[in-house]
Structure 1
Amino acid sequence: MTPRVAVVGAGWAGLAAAVAATTRGHAVTLFEMAAQAGGRARSLATGEPRLDNGQHLLIGAYAATLALMRQVGVDPEAVLRRQPLALLDQDGRGLRLPAGHPVLAFSRAVWAMSHWSLGERLALSRAALGWMRARFRCEASLTVAQLSARLPSRVRAEIIDPLCVAALNTPATTASAAVFLRVLQDALFAGPGSSDLLIPRRPLAELLPEPALAWLARHGADLRAGQRVQSLQPGPAAAGWRLDDEPFDQVILACSSTEAARLTRGIAPDWSARAAGLRHEPILTAYVQAPGARLAAPMVALREGPDAPAQFAFDHGALGATPGLFALVVSGATPWVQRGPADSAAALLRQAGEVLRPLHAGGRSPAATLLQVIAEKRATFLCTPGLSRPPARIAAGLLAAGDGIDGPYPATLEGAVRSGRAAADLLAPP
């Protein structure tokens, strides 16, 4: 009889685990407590245009995610806009990586920063060379701010801080330098195309969640949306596991760390405590409608300040999606969540008005309307130095997956997909 595997959670990690387990010949049952799949990278259930719970990015180095998309029938080139990394400000100035060998491309991009002084360009070049010589490793106790403390303030403000908050969703003052360097190594120096930005031009649901569910259904998986697992217990004579009194041979918990901690509290209290101890950081995304408007580039880095919360803005029209739709993203958004939705909404709309430009030269200043501000309050774990994340193995036949599980990446789509695939690799073969 084909062994039964339960996957709890249909976020990107759970979908990756379910597809991998099905491919390996297991009979998979996928549980998802929400009405739709996708977890913390999902499309909203209703509304037109179809909005996502946040503006997510992929990069060319996300090999596992791109491979999974192709496996379930999605052509990444059709649903993602690929462009060389360009960290441009609202005036169109900034770091532009040209094609070619990554080390040479990065060096050329730095030296092309004509608005920087010679000393600023030299400082970043020397720092990058030092990180490469150290094989992108540093003391586990260092923060990104400490790692980059000797760099000029403009270099930190225009390059280091935006990259840090975009990759780790953690401010440089508290973010892990070790994880930051690992991301830099894979993103900027892993090979041609690794640093390319892959910006969704279709709703997130169409990138993976919906195609993966369709693939799983075609391959015989049992899909249970809107069903929260209430209990997890060892099976009779410690053989297998029972989810709400239903027997399974093996289980992968790919749900939130909070749910996983709840389900394992009486089974593996130490593991449960580590999962429950993860601290999280919110992300705010404001969707703004402004017909006849544009940004200086499809994605721009914004000047963050006391009354300017967003660090990045995206022009959906320039991405080949909805014309006149813009997304402003606030990473590390705890202070703005604490200020409340009214203050956040007003500040984001004001910031949008400052960066939006007429679509055509000499045109009228566009009028912006705030469609929605979406707060994902547990968007990512707080990626701090020396963070101890729970392991993938919980007990015999009980595994965990998710971007919060121990691994080399911060809370990213690639980290989630790799974790799901790794958990499936740990299953006993059918």
Structure 2
Amino acid sequence: MAVIGGGWAGCAAAVELASAGYKVTLLEAARTLGGRARRIETDRRQLDNGQHILLGAYSATLSLLRRLGVDARQALLTLPLQMRYPPASGGMDFIAPRLPAPLHLAFALLRASGLSRADKLSLARFSSTARWAGWQLDQDCSVSELLQRWDQTGPLIRLMWRPLCLAALNTPPERASAQIFLNVLRDSLGAGRSASDMLLPRHDLSRLLPEAAASYISERGGSVRTGASVKAIRSIEGRLWQLDISGAAVGGNWSTYFPQVVIATGASQAAGLLHAIPECDTSAICQQLTALEPEAITTCYLQYGTDVRLQQPFYALLDDPSRQHWGQFVFDRGQLDAQQQGLLAVVISAAAEAATLPQEELARAIASQLSASLHLPQLQQPGWFKVITEKRATFASSPGLQRPANATGLPGLLLAGDYTAGPYPATLEAAVRSGLAAARAIRLG
């Protein structure tokens, strides 16, 4: 059987099938596995195409890492839930101690600085209201509407809820689904203490999971082909699927046949493949796929001297585009990987506006923002920078959004991706869960 796409969903599907005894062929058009969470080669060094945070609530991802023999304790830096801004930057300092839930949140709230008594009461009210409602809304609305309805204060929205919404959903609160946001909060803040832990990858993203998945597949008799682009899919008498493949990995153009296929590409590529299948009506699925509105994420890497080290592995930043303050979080890569001393990664979620700026202008603005926020004048002048924008990093998690199921309605043809129906936004966990679900659907026949 074949899996088209070597991102996290495709790798999860291929591993699940390989573990069940299937001989899997994993086909990836790019040279590097990982999809929208992968390692890239630059003129300076190898970097990730975007900085990611995983959560302790990512049960499917962490289970898959264990199956692949990846030691999460070494591959991931585990930090307690926190929203910490640089000292004297006008932000807040909220960090959960390692106590049983929900005591960890109660103590974090009591000790938090930068929030007034009214802000703290507002946060406590949000938590109690969400629990009382079972983290479920009768009708979905925007996150902004929900925050207004639940009487959240302006400072708390700016310092806590907006950054969390952008980080989790990559969608501004005024356009983001409140129900999807509550789902994320339910399974992290509203669950056991470790579920809210923040996990920062120490390895590059391709090494973290996709390359371990490739080894697992190969060891079980499967094959992994990078540089192999599937151009078309055809049904052969309803029994087999013919894949037309091109690329250096197959020596030009090539066709082969499989009884089952998982399409684990991006949403737009999946729609293109489905739409072009002769004599098969896939219009309803294609409409759902093409209706997904892409959201960009920009990561700006800034290299300083190896003596530059932040007081914490990462900080939240006060963004204000009107002042050219675009950064929302800054990560000290040197505290994750000893080979990256002095390298800071600044993340801009929902980055459509920032991505229109010339890269040098954006990098200068971010360096200036860091210098002012961290009170470190030397950050004004990085040795070099690299701006990386994933224009289709995720889809906008809008209220009431209809997402396609794994099943296509065509025998032996499944979808997998962070965009398929599920409780979460477009995250690594959503991708892994979707891949596993597609594989299990094939196993059940």
TM range (shorter): over 0.9
Does 2:357 match 1:343? Answer: no
How do residues 165-204 of structure 1 correspond to structure 2 at under 5 angstroms? 165-204=166-205
Q: 1:315 aligns with which of 327, 332, 351?
A: 332
Does 2:343 match 1:325? Answer: yes
Q: What is the letter of the counterpart of residue 383 of structure 2?
A: T
Give, in angstroms, the shift of residue 294 of structure 1.
Answer: 2.6
Shift in CA distance, 264/334, structure 1 to aligned 2, threshold 3 Å = same
Aligned mates of 2:379, 2:347 — CA distance in 1: 22
In structure 1, the residue matched to 2:371 is: 353
User: Is the 2:367–2:381 contact (alpha carbons within 8 Å) kept by the matching residues of 1?
Assistant: no
Q: What is the letter of the counterpart of residue 164 of structure 2?
A: L
In structure 2, the residue matched to 1:117 is: 116
Shift in CA distance, 117/352, structure 1 to aligned 2, threshold 3 Å = closer
Q: Secondary structure at the match of 2:414?
A: strand
Structure 2 unmatched ranges of 5 or more: 245-254
Give, in angstroms, the shift of residue 95 of structure 1.
Answer: 1.3
Q: String of CA shifts for 1:176-225, please: whole Å, max 9, x gaps.
A: 00000000011112213111111011211221111111121111112111
In structure 2, the residue matched to 1:85 is: 81
User: Is the 1:293–1:356 contact (alpha carbons within 8 Å) kept by the matching residues of 2?
Assistant: no
Q: What is the letter of the counterpart of residue 386 of structure 1?
A: G
Aligned mates of 1:211, 1:11 — CA distance in 2: 12
Aligned mates of 1:18, 1:125 — CA distance in 2: 43
Aligned mates of 1:368, 1:340 — CA distance in 2: 17
How do residues 168-247 of structure 1 correspond to structure 2 at under 5 angstroms? 168-235=169-236, 237-244=237-244, 245-247=255-257
User: Is the 1:147–1:177 contact (alpha carbons within 8 Å) kept by the matching residues of 2?
Assistant: yes
Aligned mates of 1:32, 1:85 — CA distance in 2: 35
Q: What is the letter of the counterpart of residue 414 of structure 1?
A: E
Q: What is the letter of the counterpart of residue 152 of structure 2?
A: L
Structure 1 unmatched ranges of 5 or more: none
In structure 1, the residue matched to 2:299 is: 285
Shift in CA distance, 131/354, structure 1 to aligned 2, threshold 3 Å = same
User: Is the 2:368–2:380 contact (alpha carbons within 8 Å) kept by the matching residues of 1?
Assistant: no
TM-score with structure 1 setting the length: 0.94
Q: What is the letter of the counterpart of residue 214 of structure 1?
A: S
Q: 1:270 aligns with which of 284, 292, 302?
A: 284
Aligned mates of 2:55, 2:225 — CA distance in 1: 31
In structure 1, the residue matched to 2:5 is: 9
Give, in angstroms, the shift of residue 354 of structure 1.
Answer: 2.5
Matched pairs, number: 421
User: Is the 1:295–1:355 contact (alpha carbons within 8 Å) kept by the matching residues of 2?
Assistant: no
Q: What is the letter of the counterpart of residue 257 of structure 1?
A: A
RMSD: 1.8
Shift in CA distance, 215/357, structure 1 to aligned 2, threshold 3 Å = farther
Q: What is the letter of the counterpart of residue 316 of structure 2?
A: A
Q: 1:259 aligns with which of 269, 273, 280?
A: 269
User: Is the 1:295–1:357 contact (alpha carbons within 8 Å) kept by the matching residues of 2?
Assistant: no
In structure 1, the residue matched to 2:440 is: 425
Aligned mates of 1:284, 1:87 — CA distance in 2: 20
Does 2:27 match 1:31? Answer: yes
Aligned mates of 1:162, 1:311 — CA distance in 2: 7
Give, in angstroms, the shift of residue 320 of structure 1.
Answer: 4.3
Give, in angstroms, the shift of residue 76 of structure 1.
Answer: 0.8
